Structure formats: structure tokens, C-alpha cells
Amino acid sequence: MKKLSFILGLALALNASAQIGFTEASSSVFTNLDVASSHPVGITDMNNDGLDDVIRMGEGLMIFVDYQQNDGSFIEVEMGALGAEVGEWGGDDAWGLCIADVDGNGMCDIMAGGFYDTIKIGLIADDGMSMEVTHADGEDIFVQGINFFDLNYDGHADIFSCHDDGPSLVIFNDGNGGFVEDETAVNAVINTSLYGGGEDDAGNYGSCFTDVNNDGYCDLYIAKCRQGVTDNTDVRRINQLWLYDPENSNYYEAAAEAGIAVGAQSWSADFGDLDNDGDMDMYTGNHDTNNMLFENDGTGVFTDISVSSGVGIIVPFATIQTAMRDFDNNGFLDILVTGGGSHYLAMNNGDGTYTVEDDLFDYQINSFGLGDVNNDGYIDILAVTGGYGGWSSENDAILMNNGGDNNYLMVDLNGTESTPDGIGARVKIEGPFGMMIRDVKSGESYGIHNSMISHFGLGQNDTIDKLTVTWPSGIVDVIDDVAVNQTVTVTEGTNVGIQEVDAGVKVSVYPNPMVNELTIQSPVSDATIELIDAQGRIVFSQVTTSNKTRIDTSDLRSGHYTWTVRADNDMIASGKVIK
């Protein structure tokens, strides 16, 4: 992979030789051991206490939440059906599930959908002990992969849902936990029916939001598979990459230009920085050909390295789920692939090679949720056999990571201007190991949800020089000298970071998006501060003698603005903000 000699050095420093193993430990977590979920399940911090909890969906309908306690025990709550009664799924189970705090009460809520049965949201009560079921506005679709993401950057988590039989669905959050479909607004943001609509835009399976081209905005990748279609040039099976355009506040399709317009029968894909060079690489799981690994060049253009890496093999099962996590804490993301009752785990050696493990646990795993279930800093697995491609109705299991002596850091986000869970934020750490990045996702792969607590393995490194969180709002929080082997909670705006500009002057501008006020903080006190709208009109100008300037923006229209800082008639800093 890129920068091979540099990566080799990092691999040695990070102790890439860590061993990996798992132990079945279901009885230590579950009160009810007799639950067999369909493939949509999840692990994440449901009650905002910094500990991952387990979410199961018995028979693809009944919600069980197991809350992790500080003493290592669990409290299990049977929330009931995410629907009126068993069988409401149109004769089938749920096909997609994801999780986020959509109503701002500090508790994560659960969304699920299936075969033309409406998308349902289980709003979790303030005490976490009950669930009120509501239905999202919008047409009934055959739900596949599903996500919460703030598509219009208003600080609220919206719904994106893949549709097997036609264009995917976008439903906006009204700010109070309700979801309303607005076709005009949807098409202005992301028009997924650009390829003819109807059947021509069918076959949407797995979806993932991440910043592909490092422009500070998350993009959307859709893995497509229209079963029965054998022509790999058919648009119904060509994966799509929707890049976000901040100038026009919408998305446009660019998979071919990026080199990842895969025409295989793809069910899922995941993104992560496999070589720790500061950009997101991609792995996609296919049914009709080898799975594929792509390397990002840093600008969002990808190269197929399936053969050279050794992981793009034809697996002996139909791939359902794919995810990247650092399972051995050696500092490099590994790749877990499951489906059809089988699995393989490609362990990243840190030098561009992988050691493939395919016999790690005696369980017919078809799908999973990932997170730290025993708070030891190692990623565990919620394993299920149900759902499409499952080979048995074996009950759900917790496969506990045996761990080791490598260090780690976990980062839990608390959004204020952005969504409460920090969905779409980028978390970066820097130290003697170089740097590592994670993007916070709600909903991954093919209809599952993995922990939104960002996890970093550190090998034997015990020093983190800097932790940086770049929020969707534009706010940047920076914490120096972070201790290892802990979970750090970062609340948006409490450690306001510094924005580097071309002239080398450090200026802090927040919040972004702005609402009623914008603050510009500069080391230059005798300067002219200006705010300019998209038409080039100066809407604010002030000569300041203070390092901090507060601008009343309550009367400004929504849109994009440019701020500037001038001293002695010279431009020393500039940037963009959104209202």
C-alpha cells in the first residue's frame, strides 16, 4: 500500500504481531438467552453513559436492549415489538436497523424497516425502560441498508433508506423526532432517481456515509445488487458514490470518476483508513465475484488493490456483512466479513499484507454488531445466524474478544450544534505512531448498526499528543496530551480548536453552521473583519481592536458566506461558513 517504508516503520512501533481470539460469553450479557434475531442488530451506547449496549431484534421484530453497567453487569429490557404485532412485516422480518438520538432526550432511538411495512422509529423514554413506536412519513418501500445522517446540516438526524425495488428514500427530521417526506426538498438534496427512476434505480442494498474526498463533508456510497440481473453493466447493479457539494448543498453521483463504480452483485461496503495515511479506503463484499479492496489516493480517487493485498479472494460463502475495526489493537484496521453461516477476518499486519483467519469461533455467523461489550478496550461481536443467507435459527451469541496487552483509546461524542451522537464527525488522533482517523456512522454495511464510540488501537504506544474532533457544524475541538486506555467524552464546542488557513494565521470561527451569532477569534487584534454573502455583497464589516469578534447573524438568510480577516489592507485569513 501507499508509503510502504513508512507503514513498515509504524507496524513495528505498533506491535502488529498481536494474537486474536474470541470466547462465547452470552450468559454474561443476556438475561433471555432464547432470542434469535434476524440480521439487523446493533451495539452502541444507548443511554449516553460511555458504555456500549447491545440491541437485538428477535424474529426481526421484538426489541431487546441490554444496558451495560459500570460494574460489568447488564440490565435487559424487552421493549416490545417495533410494530403492532408479530407478522406486521408483510410476512417477513426487518431488513434494516440503525440507531440515533433523534428527539434530543439523551437516549438513542431505534429505526427499522422491512418489506413494504413503513419505516418505524422506536422512541426510547428518558429512563430507557420503554419505547413509543411512531411511523415515518413517506411511501412504503422494501427497506435494505438504512442510515441516520444529517443530510441538510440542520443539526438533526435524517433518514436515508436503500430500496430494493426502486429509488432510495430520504425523510427529513422535523427537529422534534418526527420524520416528514418532502419530495421537493429531497430532490434538491439528493436525487437518487437520476438514472430513470422506478426499476432502473432498483437494487440498493448496503449504504455508508463517510468523507471520501477529505473536503470535510460526508459522502454516500451505495452497494447495489439487483438479483437475477447478470449484466454487470446494468445500472441496477453498479455501485454509486454520491459526493456532497457544499457550494450547492446537494449530492452528485461520481463513482465512475472515483474508480469504485463496481458492477458486481455487491451487498455491502465499508470505509476506513487501512494504512493510516489520513484518507478512507474501501472494501466491498460481492456475491458473484471476488470481494474487492480499494486504496484511496487522498483525493477520493481509488485504485483496486484486491490482488496485491491478498484479501480480494473469492470467499466460500455469499458475503452479507463487511466492517473495518481494529480487533487486536495493533493500530491498524482489520476487515470482518460474514454471510451464509461463515466468516473470515483479515488481520491487518500494517505493511500492506493481511493474515486471514477463518476459524476463529464455532458459530454459524451470518450477521453481527460490533462494539466493546465488557469495556476492556477491545472490540467484541454480537453474532446472529438469522436473516438473508442464514443457515440456522441458532440463538444470538456474544463473542467476547480475548483481548491482550495493547493499548487503546475510545472517544464518545456529545453533539450540541451537530446531532447529539456526533454522526458525521471525524475523530483524529496524533502521536509517535503518526495519525489515525475515524468517521462516526449511524448504520453500516447491510442494515446493521455498530458502535458510534470511536475506537483506536495503539499497539504498545502510550502517548497521544493530540485528539481532534471536526464536527459537521464546522466546530473543531482539540485536546492535547490525552491519556491512553480510557474513554474520552468530547462535548461539541468545549475545546474549541484552531482553523489553519493558507497564510499560516490561526483563526477560530464558530459555530458552523451559524444560527444567530458567529464568533471570529484571531491573534490579530487590529484587523478588519468582513462577512460576504454568495453574491459577493459585504453583509458585515468592522474594524476591531479585540481578538474576538461576535457577529449578529440572526437577520441573514440561509446560505453560504465567506469570512475574511484583513490587516494593513492585506488578506491574512479567510474561510467559509453556512447558515
Diameter of the chain measured on Cα atoms: 74
DSSP character for 466? E
In a 3-state reduction of DSSP, which class is residue 328? Answer: coil
Give the cell for residue 210: 463517510
Whole-number pLDDT of residue 11:
42
Is residue 306 within 8 A of residue 291, CB to CB? The reply is yes
Query: Which residue shows C-alpha cell 457544499?
Result: 246
Q: What size, in residues, is the chain?
A: 579
pLDDT score of 391:
57
Q: Please give the order of strands across the beta sheet that includes 109-113.
A: 96-100, 109-113, 120-124, 131-135
Reading the block at residue 59, the C-alpha cell is 424474529
State how far the Cα of 272 lies from the Cα of 324, in Å rounded to an integer: 6
As a whole number of angstroms, the distance between CA 260 and CA 297 comes to: 13
Grid cell, residue 337, equals 466479513
Give yes or no for a contact between 146 and 157, defined as CB atoms under 8 angstroms apart. no
Residue 172 in contact with residue 435, Cβ under 8 Å?
Answer: no
Element containing residue 189 per DSSP (H, E) = helix 183-189
Residue type, 255: A
Pick from 217, 247, 299, 175: nearest CA to 474: 217
> Would you give the end-to-end CA distance of the chain in angstroms?
40
| pLDDT in 10s for each residue of the chain, 579 residues | 333 333 333 443 454 445 899 999 999 999 999 999 989 999 999 999 999 999 999 988 899 999 999 999 999 999 999 854 444 444 457 899 999 999 999 999 999 998 888 899 999 999 999 999 998 988 889 999 999 999 988 899 999 999 999 989 899 998 877 898 877 666 778 877 666 778 888 999 999 999 999 998 999 999 999 988 889 899 999 999 999 988 888 899 999 999 999 999 899 999 999 999 999 999 999 888 889 999 999 999 999 999 888 887 667 778 999 999 999 999 999 999 998 888 999 999 999 889 988 888 889 899 999 999 999 999 999 999 987 755 567 899 999 999 999 999 999 999 998 999 999 999 999 999 999 999 999 999 999 999 999 999 999 999 999 999 999 988 888 899 999 999 999 999 888 644 444 445 678 888 887 888 998 888 877 888 989 876 667 889 888 888 888 999 998 887 778 888 888 767 778 777 888
Distance CA 339, CA 337 (A): 7
Phi-psi label, residue 87: left if phi above 0, alpha if psi -120 to 50, beta otherwise: left
Other CB atoms within 10 A of residue 306 CB: 17
Closest listed residue to residue 1, CA positions, set 297, 381, 438, 249: 297
Side-chain-side CA neighbours of residue 448 (13 Å): 34
CA quadruple 41, 44, 49, 50: dihedral sign: positive
* Cβ proximity of 48 and 42 under 8 Å: no
φ/ψ of residue 225, rounded to 5? -155, 105
Query: What per-residue confidence (pLDDT) applies to 190?
Result: 82
Look up residue 459 and give its three cell numbers.
Answer: 499497539
Cβ distance 331 to 407 under 8 Å? no
The Cα–Cα gap between 129 and 510 comes to 37
DSSP at 235? G
Q: Say how far apart CA 499 and CA 504 lie, in whole Å.
A: 10
Which residues, including other chains, have CB under 8 Å from residue 311's CB and lie 6 or more apart? 283, 291, 293, 335, 346, 354, 356
- Strand segments, DSSP code E, in 1-73 are 22-24, 42-44, 53-58, 62-68
Q: From CA 540, how far away is CA 382, in angstroms rounded?
A: 54
Spatial contact of 397 and 9, defined as CB atoms under 8 Å apart: no
**Residue 409: beta bridge partners?**
456
The two beta strands, 74-81 and 62-68, are antiparallel
The CA distance from 425 to 412, in Å, is 11
Q: How many other CB atoms are found less than 10 A from the CB of residue 175?
A: 12
Identity of the amino acid at 233: T
Please give the full DSSP string across 207-260, using - where no structure is assigned: EEEE-SSSSSS-EEEEEE--TT---TTSGGGS-EEEEEETTTTEEEE-HHHHT-
Q: Which residue has the cell 463504480?
A: 261
Instruction: Count other Cβ atoms within 10 Å, centred on residue 393.
Output: 10
